[in-house]
Amino acid sequence: MKEVILKAENLCKTFSDGGVQRHILKNIDLELYRGDFTVIMGASGAGKSTLLYSLSGMDAPDEGTLTFGDKVISDLSQDGLAVFRREHCGFVFQQIYLIDGMSVTDNVLCAGLLASKDKKQIISRAKELFASVDISEDTQKKFPYQLSGGEAQRAGIVRALINSPEILFADEPTGALNSKTGLDVLDTLTEFNERGQSVVMVTHDVRSARRGNRILYLKDGVIMGECDLGAYEHGNAERHEKLAAFLKDMGW
C-alpha cells in the first residue's frame, strides 16, 4: 500500500481573461504517493502548470482542499504557504530561475540556509549534490550567466534538493535545453527518484514522460486518465508501447 503524501480534493482554479472567466482546473481529485515519479501530461493550455503550482502551494486554488500528510495547506496564508514550500517542496523550472546576482553556490545555499540553521550540514549536502550532478568547484563559483544551459539546470536541481524536500516539482525541466543536455537532466531526476525522492513533473514531451512510473493526462482542466508504467527501465520497449497506447487513447 503506497503512502499518500499530498491529496487534492475538488480542486478548482479560474482565471479572468478580458472579463471572461476561464476554468483552468475543474474539480480535480488526486492523490500523490511517496516515492513516485508522477508525470502530468497534456496539450498546451490543458492546465498542467496550473495544477503543478496549485499542488505545490505556489498558487492558492480557488476552491477545494489540499492536504499534506495531516495538514490542510489550502487554507494557509501566503506566508504559511512560503513556509510549506521551504520545508517540504523543491522546484525545478523550465526557465531555471537562478538569481543573477549570486554565484551558483550562493543560489543553492540561499535556499538551504533558509530552511536549516545547521550551516555546516547544508554546505556539506550542497557539496555532495554538486558532486552527484557533476558540477565542479570552479563552476560553483560562477554567476548564472556564465553557465551553459545544462549546468544551470543541474544547479537548479541541486537548489531544489538542498533541503531534502518530500516532493520535487519540475515544470518542463528540459523545455529550454537541447536534447543531449535534456537527457542529462532527466537522468539526474531519475537517479534521485530511484533513491526515493518523490517527483512530480509536468511535460508535453513523450521522451521525458517515459521517466515517470505514473502518468496523468490532463485535458481542459480535468484528469482524463491515468497510466501506471511501473518503475523506469532504460530501453524498455514494453513501457514505451504502453505509454504510446495510453496517449493515443487520450487523443494525444
Partner 1 sequence: MARSNLRRAKGQTVAISALVLIAAMMLNLWLMLATDYGENFVRCHEKANAEHVTVAVSGTDDEIKNFLAQTLDSEPNVSEYIMNDCFNMTCTFDYNGGETNGWFVFMNEQTALSRSVGKVEITENGGAQSGVYLPMIYETGDIRAGGTIDINIGSNTVTYNVCGFFNSVMMGSHNCGLVQVILTQDKYDELSELGYAFGATLCSVRLKDISVNADYEAELKSKISERFNNIMINGNCYDLVRQSRYIAQMICSGVISTMALLVLMIALVVIASNIVNYIQVNMKNLGALKAVGYTSGQLVRTLLLQFTGLSMLAALAGAGLSYLLFPAVNDMMISQTGIPYAVRFLPFPMFVAVAISACAVSLSVWLSARKIKKIEPITALRSGVQAQTLKRNHIPLDKAKVPLNAALALKTALSGIKHNVTVCVTVLVLSLVVVFSGLMAENVIGDFTPFLNLIVGETADSCINVEASAEQEFLQQMRSDDRVEKIYLFHSLNVVHAGGAELMATMYDDFSELNNKSVVYEGRFPERADEIAVAGKYAGENDLKIGDEISITANGKTEKYVICGYTQISNYLGRDCLLTRKGYERLGSIISASYYINLANGVDIDEFNAEAKEKFAGKISTAVNIKTVMEGAAKVYVTLMKIIVIAILVLSALIIAFVLYLLVRTMLNNKKRDYGILKSLGFTSGQLVIQTALAFMPAVILSTVAGLILGSIVINPLMSLFLSGIGIVKCTFTVPAGFVTAAGAGIIALSFAIACLLSLKVKKIAPCALLRGE
# binding residues, partner 1 (CB under 8 A): 38
Helices and strands (H and E) in the chain: how many: 9, 10
Q: From the CB of 123, what's the least distance to partner 1, in Å?
A: 5
Is residue 12 a contact point for partner 1 (CB under 8 A)? no
Binding track, positions 69-88, relative to partner 1; x by CB under 8 A: ---------xx--xxxxxx-
Measured CA to CA, the distance from residue 223 to residue 213 in angstroms comes to 17
C-alpha closest to that of 28 among 224, 246, 243: 224
Q: How many CB atoms lie within 10 A of CB 241?
A: 10
* Assigned C-alpha cell, 231: 518503475
According to CB under 8 A, which one of 21, 44, 70, 145 is a site residue for partner 1?
145
Residue from 7, 43, 143, 219 binding partner 1 (CB under 8 A): 143
Tell whether residue 59 is a contact of partner 1 (CB under 8 A). Answer: yes
> Quick check: 86 and 162 in contact, CB under 8 A?
no
Q: What string marks each residue from 93 to 112 as x (binds partner 1 by CB under 8 A) or -?
A: x---xxxxxxx-xx--xxx-
Stretch that binds partner 1, among 29-37, 136-144, 182-190, 226-234 (CB under 8 A): 136-144
Q: Which residues pair with 66 in a beta bridge?
A: 8
Report the distance separating Cα 8 and Cα 25, nearest Å: 12
Q: Which 8-state DSSP code applies to residue 206? A: H
The distance of closest approach from Cβ of residue 92 to partner 1 in the complex, given in angstroms and rounded to an integer, is 11
Are 220 and 23 contacting, i.e. CB atoms less than 8 angstroms apart? no
Q: Which residues bind partner 1 (CB under 8 A)?
A: 49, 53, 58-59, 78-79, 82-87, 89, 91, 93, 97-103, 105-106, 109-111, 113-115, 119, 123, 141, 143-145, 159, 171
